[in-house]
Amino acid sequence: MFKTLSVFDGKNDLDVLVLGMYEEAGLHSEVEKIDKDLHNQISKLKKSKKAAFGERTILYPMDRVKAEAIYVVGLGKQEDSTTESIREALASASQQLRKDKARKVAFLVESFVSESVDKKDAAVLIGEALALGTYTVLDYKEKTNEVDVSIEEVLLYGEEEDLQQAAQVGYTYGQGTNLARKLVNTPGNLMTPTDLADEAVTLAKKHEFEFEILERNEMEKLGMGALLAVAAGSDEPPKMIVLKYTGNPHSDERIGLVGKGLTFDSGGISIKPRENMHQMKMDMGGAAAVLGAMDIIGSVKPNVNVLAVIPSSENLLNGSALKPGDVITSLSGKTIEVRNTDAEGRLILADGMTYAKQLGATSLIDVATLTGAVLIALGDCTTGAVTNNEELMEDVLEASVETGEWIWRLPNYAPYKKMLKTSDVADLNNAPGRLAGSITAGLFIGEFAGDTPWVHLDIAGTAWQSKASNLGPLGGTGAMARTLAQVVINKEG
């Protein structure tokens, strides 16, 4: 799909040529040549403030340049540019490419370069933005027979030979994110635990992962009482999904990625308000992020060992459903008093964490749409984190900076941990109250990590966007898929 050429020579017939333009910096030499062929149209755009960030102008060269159209993308002030801003600008251009049904496109890579974004970075961002910006949510409306046209070839004009590879890496990260988005956006009746398990098996076969899908009877034999208790209110059978990637058979280290796979959450007996309950198809965003990360890992193939564990169920209500006041026994042997059946994610993750440890995970990262409280604390742009290990937390934070997915660490002080022990009848209370709700929810999961290095990521705010943006449409964002993959890839020795 990607091909690198050293300079723009005008010999390739293109549907669209994309170039960046900063407000105060001079035009890049390649852009100057094109500007001359266009009778200074680009220079005139610059003078008319069309280089401001967010501006996008389409020029039609009328055979003066061998492209049907030229997109001039405003990048703002060069000193203010970041990977996040360039990614967003490129994603906006990618949305236009899809709208215009472009098949063969080219980018002047160096026109997007700044002090904080080098040519290789720009190529990665081009690949990533092409995937993210052209993603659309599948709908189920009656349609015409019109065939959707997709980009077939992307030319990268720049002197470095590895730009093609860099762009492909970015595209791979974007496609992994899009897989997570697709899973989150699928309606709950079409994305049951069984469907989620089938998606995981398809992914495993694509990348030749080892896989295991535990059924209800196997969970009963093992004693997965927490997952089974949540699943009791639904006619859909629960699944414990396991994928294993062995990139370094000589190492005993194995990173465990544990994702909450709650494919629909009504709240159970502690039922949620009706408003926006339809969005609760997204409560398996953690599982989606893990599968998206595994898709990236399977494509990049780092020499690292990874274990993905996804406990999956629905949280509904029938005559067998879990009730407030029930006491359940988890796979670890710890007992839990259920004060709130809508605090179910931490219950299924309890067994997921324990099972990951039993299968050999030497470090653990769990990711879950866990609490509404994280939205109050951090809004919808930042993921909350809790940890028991400084080194692993730093690895996750470093990866998040590289991918542009913001994370804020929450405290894990002793008083918060004591709040979990406020049951008179069980080892743990699954819902000790509104105070510090995101922290206590995370630390509840941490009880099942024990001494194993662990980081918890609460994506309840970041897994879903309520309005479209340059990076994607309304719905699932695929949050943390890229960061989880980056943590793994950074572990390469």
Asked if residue 100 belongs to a known ligand binding site, the reply is no
**Per DSSP, what are the bridge partners of residue 240?**
214, 311
Q: Which pLDDT does position 5 carry in this prediction? A: 79
Is the residue at 167 inside a domain? no
Tell me the sheet residues that pair with 262.
Answer: 313
Ranges assigned E (strand) in 283-382? 305-315, 327-329, 335-337, 363-368
Do the domain assignments include residue 117? yes
Q: Is 164 among the domain residues?
A: no
Please report the pLDDT score of residue 415 as a whole number: 98
Q: How many domains does the chain fold into?
A: 2
Judgement on whether residues 434 and 373 belong to the same structural domain of the protein:
yes
Residue 168 lies in a domain: no
- Any idea what the CATH number is for the domain that residue 42 is in? 3.40.220.10
| DSSP string for 27-70 | PPHHHHHHHHHTTTHHHHHHHTTTTSTT-EEEE--TTSSSEEEE
Backbone φ, ψ for residue 163 (5° rounding): -60, -40
C-alpha distances in Å from residue 376, one per residue of 244, 372, 460? 36, 7, 10
Q: Is 56 a catalytic residue?
A: no
- CATH number, domain at 350? 3.40.630.10
Helix or strand or coil: residue 419? helix
Examine residue 316 and state whether it is found in any structural domain, yes or no: yes
Both 186 and 94 in a single domain?
A: no
Inside any domain, residue 163: no
**Sequence-distant (≥ 6) Cβ neighbours of residue 101 within 8 angstroms:** 149
Q: Judge if 85 and 34 occupy the same domain.
A: yes
Which alpha helices (H) appear in 311-372, and where do they start and end? 345-358
Q: What are phi and psi of 311, to 5 degrees?
A: -80, 130
Q: Phi/psi at 438 (nearest 5 deg)? A: -70, -35
Does residue 117 share a domain with residue 214?
no
| Same domain membership, residue 352 and residue 210 | yes
Residue 426 and residue 293 share a domain: yes
Tell whether 63 is in a known binding site.
no
pLDDT one digit per residue (tens) for the chain, 493 residues: 898 877 676 667 899 999 999 998 788 888 998 999 899 999 999 888 888 998 999 999 988 888 999 999 999 999 999 999 999 999 999 999 999 999 999 999 999 999 999 999 999 999 999 999 999 998 888 775 555 668 999 999 987 778 999 999 999 999 999 999 999 999 999 999 999 999 999 999 999 999 999 999 999 999 999 999 999 999 999 999 999 999 999 999 999 999 999 999 999 999 999 999 999 999 999 999 999 999 999 999 999 999 999 999 999 999 999 999 999 999 999 999 999 999 999 999 999 999 999 999 999 999 999 999 999 999 999 999 999 999 999 999 999 999 999 999 999 999 999 999 999 999 999 999 999 999 999 999 999 999 999 999 999 999 999 999 999 999 999 999 999 999 999 999 6
Residue finishing a domain among 92, 127, 158: 158
Same domain, 440 and 296: yes
Among the three residues 91, 126, 158, which one is the final residue of a domain in this structure? 158
**What is the Cα–Cα distance from 289 to 366, expressed in whole angstroms?**
10
Which of the following is catalytic: 46, 120, 181, 346?
Answer: 346
Q: Are residues 214 and 66 in the same domain?
A: no
- Alpha-carbon distances, residue 261 vs 99, 266, 282 (angstroms): 34, 14, 9
- What pLDDT, on a 0 to 100 scale, did the predictor assign at position 117? 94
Task: Tell whether 318 is covered by a domain.
Answer: yes
* Residue 3 labelled as part of a binding site: no
Which pTM does this prediction carry?
Answer: 0.96
Q: Is residue 165 part of a domain?
A: no
Say which of 56, 77, 104, 272 is annotated catalytic: 272
Q: Are 303 and 364 in a shared domain?
A: yes
- Any known ligand binding at 260? yes
Mark whether 376 and 259 lie in a shared domain. yes
| Sign of the CA dihedral running 117, 119, 120, 125 | positive
Angle, helices 481-490/163-185, rounded to nearest 10 degrees: 140
The reply to whether 281 sits in an annotated binding site is: no
The residue among 66, 124, 68 whose CA lies nearest residue 96 is 68
- The residue out of 158, 182, 217 marking a domain boundary is 158
Pairing outcome for strands 14-21 and 239-246: unpaired
Residue 6 sits in the same domain as residue 59: yes
State the residue range of the domain holding 380: 174-490
Q: Does residue 222 sit in the same domain as residue 88?
A: no
Does the annotation count 346 as an active-site position? Answer: yes
The strand ranges marked E within 423-466 are 428-429, 454-458, 464-465
10 Å CB burial of residue 10 (0-12, 13-18, 19+) is middle
